[in-house]
Amino acid sequence: MKSQIKRVQGKALEEIAAAESVSALNEIRTRVFGRSGSFALLNRLLKETPEEERPLFGRLLGDLRRIVTTSLKRKESLLGKEGDQAVIGDLDLTLPGTASEYGAAHPLTCLLNHAVAILHRMGFSCATGPDIETEWRCFDALNTPNDHPARNEKNTFYLQDGRLLRTHTSTIQIRTMERQLPPVRVFGSGAAYRRDEVNATHLIQFHQLEGLYVSKDVTLADLKGAIVFFFRELFGQEAEIRFRPHFFPFTVPSYEIDVRATVVGDGWLELAGCGMIDPAVFEAVSTKRGDRAYSPEKVSGFAFGIGLERLTMALNGIADIRLLTENDIRFLSQFR
C-alpha cells in the first residue's frame, strides 16, 4: 500500500512538472482526484488494510492529497503568469494612452435644464404629453376655430387617422387638466411641428417649454410676476421684460414676451407667448371631464409657451437654426 501511494504521488508530481497548459493540469487533477481517480481507489484500499496499519496509510494518503494539490496550484499560477506574459509581449508601458472623448449636453438641453431648475424652484412640476395628438387637444379644446390657419393641412402634419403632430406644447395644458384636479402648477416641454419652409430661422420640428398655473383668483399680476421672475433668473437681474398685446385663441388677454438682456445680444428678443386661460378652454375641459372642477366661475389661471431654439441661438450666438439638428461634431464640440 505504501509503495502504491508513493507511486501515485511520484507520477502525479512528474506529470505536473511536465504539464504545459492549464487544461493539462485539469486532466491530471481529474485523474488523481476525480470520482474514479487514483486517490479514490487508494481510499477504498485503505478500508481493506489491517486495522493497525490504517493510521500510517491514512496519514500518507493525507500527505499525498496536500502535496499534489499544492503542486497543482503552484503550477497553475505559474502557467497563468506565463500566459499573461505571452499576451502582453513587449508592451511598452511608457507609451501615451488613447485619450477618451467626453461628450456634452446639446446647447438646447443645457438651456432646458437651466429653465426647468428655475421652474422647479417656483413650484412647477413636470407634466408630459405625446408628439402625436388629437385635433381636439391641439385645437378644439384650446378654443381654436375650424377655419383657423393653423388647422390647415398646409401648416400642420396630419396623420391618416385624423390625428396630427402637435403644433405646440399647449396640448399638455389640456392633458394636465383632463387628469388632474386644480390647483395645478406644471410645466411641459418637448417637440412641436409645423409645415414651414426650412431655412436659417425655421425647422419643421422645434421645441417649446410650456407653463400652466390654475388655481383660485389667479390674476394677470401673478402672470407678470412669474414671467419677470423666471426670465430674470434665467438672464440676470438686469434683464428687461416687455409684454406686447397679442392674440391666442386660448388665452385672454394674451401677450407676446420680449426680453432685452446682454446675454442674448442687444435689442429686444421675442421669446414667448402667454396669457390668462380663456374661459372657453375651462368649459371645454369641464365638458370632457364631466365635472365642474374647472368651472371658470371657480378657477382662473395663466399659461406661457417659450420657443427654445431661438433662445438657444441668441444665448450662444448661433446664426443658423439648422446647426442645432445637423449633428455636426465640429459645431457640437464647441459646447463642451
The contact set with ligand PHE (CB under 6 A) reads 168, 170, 210, 248, 251, 273-275, 303-305
Closest separation in Å from C-beta 170 to ligand PHE: 4
Q: Residue 48 corresponds to which amino acid?
A: E
Closest separation in Å from C-beta 120 to ligand PHE: 19
Closest separation in Å from C-beta 169 to ligand PHE: 7
Closest separation in Å from C-beta 229 to ligand PHE: 17
Distance of CA 168 to the CA centre of its chain: 23
Contact 187, 210 (CB under 8 A): yes
Q: Which is nearer to ligand PHE, 235 or 248 (CB)?
A: 248
Q: Which is nearer to ligand PHE, 75 or 310 (CB)?
A: 310
Q: Which is nearer to ligand PHE, 37 or 249 (CB)?
A: 249
CB contact set of 170 (below 8 Å; sequence gap of 6+): 138, 142, 210, 250, 303, 305
Q: Which is nearer to ligand PHE, 182 or 275 (CB)?
A: 275
- Using Cβ positions, the residue closest to ligand PHE within the complex turns out to be 305
Closest separation in Å from C-beta 250 to ligand PHE: 7
Q: Which is nearer to ligand PHE, 28 or 211 (CB)?
A: 211
* Grid cell of 143 as nine digits: 378654443
Closest separation in Å from C-beta 290 to ligand PHE: 25
Q: Which is nearer to ligand PHE, 75 or 168 (CB)?
A: 168
